[in-house]
């Protein structure tokens, strides 16, 4: 599967940061599955880290990441599929 075909591009395009420094991929997963904390880890390290690699690989297999399933009731991309 190519990047053009993935069900959601946020893992490649977006980042959400709270006022306390928590980093997430979207507003739906920021509280349930943050990818890290800017007070402890620089953003490039989080963006290229193992959590993000696994998240992107799930999408490239044509799946949603496990973190997405936790918020399926909120995410419009998941409700479309």
Site residues (CB under 6 A) for ligand SF4? 8, 10-11, 25-26, 28-29, 64, 68, 71, 75, 77-78
Nearest Cα residue to 25 out of 54, 4, 2 = 54
Decide whether 23 or 28 has the Cβ nearer to ligand SF4: 28
Decide whether 28 or 34 has the Cβ nearer to ligand SF4: 28
Distance CA 39, CA 21 (A): 6
**Shortest Cβ 48–ligand SF4 spacing (Å):** 17
**Shortest Cβ 47–ligand SF4 spacing (Å):** 14
Nearest Cα residue to 23 out of 6, 39, 7, 12 = 39
């Amino acid at each position: 599967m190519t990047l053009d075909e993935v069900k959601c591009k946020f893992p490649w395009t977006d980042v959400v940061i709270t006022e306390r420094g928590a980093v997430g991929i979207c507003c739906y997963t920021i509280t349930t599955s943050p990818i890290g904390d800017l007070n402890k880890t620089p953003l490039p390290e989080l963006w290229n880290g193992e959590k993000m690699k696994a998240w992107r690989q799930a999408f490239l297999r044509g799946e949603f990441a496990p973190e997405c399933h936790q918020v399926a009731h909120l995410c419009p991309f998941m409700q479309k599929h």
